[in-house]
Structure 1
Amino acid sequence: MPLTPLDIHNKEFGRRLRGYDEDEVNEFLDQVIKDYETLIRENKELQNQSLALQEKLNHFSNIEETLSKTIIVAQEAADELKSNSKKEAQLILKEAEKNADRIINEALSKSRKVALEVEELKKQASIYRARFRTLVEAQLELLGLEGWDSLEGGSAPAREINRD
């Protein structure tokens, strides 16, 4: 166990003949006590400073560890976000391609339907034209008959109508 200033102060030395001067020894011991107390006080202060610095070091170590974990979590979150964004972009692209294919197929279907309707209308127009021509030719033929002349007064010669 280390000496304390009180141990030094209370230390009694045996007396002998021709011993040391008691006042000088006491004065020296008082000086040793003061120096020893100063060293003990400084040692305590240094220990307290060391503890405070150790606490700060632990605090900053904890902050460093927390920041490292935070950076790792942030990096993982960024990577996950990037991955999810790529997946979502691929899904959007696939959906757009499906929609484009559907729109193209619908347009082709409508185009075929319109083409069929146009062909049907051309056939109907051709049939109508042929019927109308037949009707006009029949009417012209009727007009070309001699019976019409007698209705007009009988004096005009029969006209002949040119046919196409």
Structure 2
Amino acid sequence: MLTPLDIQNKEFKKTLRGYDAKAVDLFLDEVIEDYEKVYKENIELKDKVNLFSDQIRHYNTLEETLKNTLIVAQTTAEEVISAARAKSQNITDEAEINGDKIIELAKEKVRDVKAEYEYLRKEMFSFKTRYQSFIEAQLITLNNFHREIEEKSIVNKSTKEDIDKNIDEEVSEEELQYLHENKKLDNLGA
């Protein structure tokens, strides 16, 4: 590309029938001036184009970075969501398993308590029956003993009084007390 200096330094050969040198020089001066303006404008526009190209490259790089960032963010979000779902599923599954274990343990405890209750109820019934039989037998024995005493007491009342008198006379008070205590003990054992 020609520069304004190239145009200015250009020299033409002179010929006989050539153009008017002054007119050519004036015209060339005008061309140089206009060309210089266009040339400067062209340089400025090239600089602007280069600047805009740099900015476009920068924005394209930024756009690519943002796209990659968005893709990474989306992938990360999907992974986080997937991990959260898996974790929540694990927690739910574990809770259900623990719940089932707790329910099974509770059922087992209920069975144990029921079995113990039945065992204690049978033992209580057995104890009640034995104790009732024992008390009834003791009542029968006591009634028989009381009846025998009353029968003997009527028959032997006079004999007993005589024996007691004879004993009282022959036995000291300590011995008498000892005999009465032993007699009470004998009555209790019968």
Regarding TM over 0.5, the answer is: yes
Q: Relative contact order (alpha carbons < 8 A, sep ≥ 6): 1 or 2 greater?
A: 2
2:67 corresponds to which letter in structure 1? Answer: S
Q: How many residues align?
A: 153
More helix by percentage: 2
Larger deviation, residues 7-16 vs 66-75:
7-16
Residues 61-76 of structure 1 correspond to what in structure 2 (within 5 A)? 61-76=60-75
Could you tell me which residue of structure 2 aligns to residue 117 of structure 1?
Answer: 116
Could you tell me which residue of structure 1 aligns to residue 136 of structure 2?
Answer: 137
Could you tell me which residue of structure 2 aligns to residue 96 of structure 1?
Answer: 95
Could you tell me which residue of structure 2 aligns to residue 24 of structure 1?
Answer: 23
Counterparts of 1:128 and 1:16, CA distance in 2: 156
Report the structure number with the largest CA radius of gyration: 2
Structure 1 length-normalised TM: 0.83
Counterparts of 1:137 and 1:44, CA distance in 2: 134
Are 1:147 and 2:148 counterparts? yes
Residues 82-93 of structure 1 correspond to what in structure 2 (within 5 A)? 82-93=81-92
Find the residue that maps to 1:144 and give its secondary structure. Answer: helix
Task: Give the RMSD, CA atoms, in angstroms.
Answer: 2.1
Structure 2 length-normalised TM: 0.73
Could you tell me which residue of structure 2 aligns to residue 40 of structure 1?
Answer: 39
Aligned-pair CA distance for 1:28:
1.9
Deviations 1:29-83 (A, max 9, x none): 2211111111110000010011111111111111111111111111111111111
% identity of equivalent residues: 42
Larger deviation, residues 140-149 vs 49-58:
140-149
Counterparts of 2:118 and 2:101, CA distance in 1: 26
1:125 corresponds to which letter in structure 2? Answer: M
C-alpha distance 148-113 of structure 1, shift in aligned 2 (>3 A): farther
Runs of 4+ in 1 over 4 A off after TM superposition: none
